[in-house]
Structure 1
């Protein structure tokens, strides 16, 4: 692809973002006209968390060729980028003089992206089944890391009573992590999967991932943005611009390969995960602020993911979509 053909490059990036975020917008419209109800969203979310996503992550992890991964450089880059984003966000929040509860909400938003649904869907839109395989391990590793760091941040800033032992126990029975762990075991042992497995994976990727994105859109409440303050906008900028930029810098310094770097960018540039709102409310924090950040980052990421992915392709740092 010619480096100077900017319109084509932007169209290529849009081919990744529009199919993903278009479903979110559709969910917002369906909820607005009354065709999508909360009971539908709850039912799909439960099935997704307990069955569909674990199965998709299992199949993707089972198809990983660990010998061809070129080491764990891109996984390590994701971990370093996450911790670095948290540290820089903490320093910035202290410099801004945020009260400790606000600091905790802000810092959690800086590093915690929606890996398992939005990030996974973006990787599939960009690189197909290869993107899902490359994304499976970072999703597992970073999901666990996000939960540990989020609990620590909220404990320190909100005085939460949730123990780290309880968190680790919860992760040990988390369906998403269990699905990926089982897939890694299958990949390492070389056990063959049934011949119909690719059909299941394609069906989940083509039909169920969009359904989950529609439910995310249906769950968004644009009205909450009326109470959005400067902290919400600053957290959004950190989640969608600063965090991905730090991730790309770490990946480039560590020599991560173009397709792996593209996957890492798409995962790290996803909007704030809805689970962050749940954890803030559980810690008796400002749930309105946390909800505002989730909504605003989801809407703004339509633009930032497209532009960021375009820049990476132009610079030759990320592989073009397949």
Structure 2
């Protein structure tokens, strides 16, 4: 019963936020245009505050395990190589190849990683999740450009890639928070409080928007791509990563952060990138919608099983 309640408490808030957004859009209180603009606002204004706040609040003496960083980065890159060698053999159309590869390796770690970790490990767990996000997001973004360009037949420009990474709002927010931590800078109480409140608002608002932009009407036509890719993404891959993390001796929190990197649904930004870089935008959007819906179930089951086995929490 304890493990069941932990799993419920970890997942149900996501379901409520997403369902509320979906219901508001279906009721006509908010349209696609409004939700699209709100999505941009969350990404460019709220997420940087969240990243800043999580790193700003790091307790003195916190250290990041170098082995964890190496494992996370190597895991992403090795997975990409495996996918680049296998997906083109199974899928004929270039626009779909890049989208499927991106769907399997690229998780919505930003949106799901921090609240999931906080729900099980408390506020202390969000620090590690935030630092790993700052490391992983640039890798996701840069490699996604290379992969989509590869199957479009283009050639990525290093200057553009560098600019995109350096101007990413999440990276800027994380960098500001890290600088404040290193220098020991403290905000006045009258500023620190609203910063924390804005940070707390970010996840519910982002999930509300995600729910409001979900559509299920055209998924059936691409089921032959969606089902196997999501089975790998949400079931097989988390199992392999968690088993490796356990074998390599990572502690409970580190294992769970690695788990959330690979077991969470597909990043919403993968749709816009595919749409603007010659990928199959319809398929990319369906991956985002279906993975988000299915992950509510798979994450619940993963948390319940791992908690019952005493491997997390």
Asked if TM exceeds 0.5, the reply is yes
Which residue among 51, 70, 76 is the counterpart of 2:70?
76
The equivalent of 2:123 in structure 1 is: 129
**Range 119-128 or range 215-224, more displaced:** 119-128
In the alignment, the residues of structure 2 paired with residue 9 and residue 201 of structure 1 have an alpha-carbon distance, to the nearest angstrom, of 33
The equivalent of 2:166 in structure 1 is: 172
The equivalent of 1:4 in structure 2 is: none
Displacement of 1:98: 4.0
Displacement of 1:205: 4.7
CA contact (8 A) 2:18 2:207 kept: yes
Decide whether aligned partners of structure 1 residues 128 and 225 sit closer, same or farther in structure 2, where only a CA change above 3 A counts: same
The equivalent of 2:109 in structure 1 is: 115
1:151 aligns with 2:145: yes
Q: Deviations over 1:239-283 (max 9, x none)?
A: 212332233233223322102222232232211111111111112
1:231 aligns with 2:204: no
Displacement of 1:97: 4.7
1:281 aligns with 2:275: yes
1:42 aligns with 2:36: yes
In the alignment, the residues of structure 1 paired with residue 91 and residue 25 of structure 2 have an alpha-carbon distance, to the nearest angstrom, of 39
**Range 296-305 or range 129-138, more displaced:** 129-138
CA contact (8 A) 2:64 2:128 kept: no
Decide whether aligned partners of structure 1 residues 314 and 88 sit closer, same or farther in structure 2, where only a CA change above 3 A counts: farther
TM-score by length of 1: 0.89
Q: Give the number of aligned pairs.
A: 313
1:293 aligns with 2:305: no
In the alignment, the residues of structure 1 paired with residue 66 and residue 184 of structure 2 have an alpha-carbon distance, to the nearest angstrom, of 19
The equivalent of 1:186 in structure 2 is: 180
Q: Secondary structure at the match of 1:223?
A: coil
**Range 8-17 or range 246-255, more displaced:** 246-255
Q: Which runs of 5+ in 1 are unaligned?
A: 1-6
Decide whether aligned partners of structure 1 residues 53 and 91 sit closer, same or farther in structure 2, where only a CA change above 3 A counts: same
**Range 65-74 or range 203-212, more displaced:** 65-74
Task: Note the aligned Cα RMSD (angstroms).
Answer: 2.1
Written as runs of structure 1 = structure 2, the 5 A alignment for 1:1-322 is 7-65=1-59, 67-69=61-63, 71-196=65-190, 199-200=193-194, 202-319=196-313
In the alignment, the residues of structure 1 paired with residue 111 and residue 188 of structure 2 have an alpha-carbon distance, to the nearest angstrom, of 25
Decide whether aligned partners of structure 1 residues 127 and 43 sit closer, same or farther in structure 2, where only a CA change above 3 A counts: farther
TM-score by length of 2: 0.91
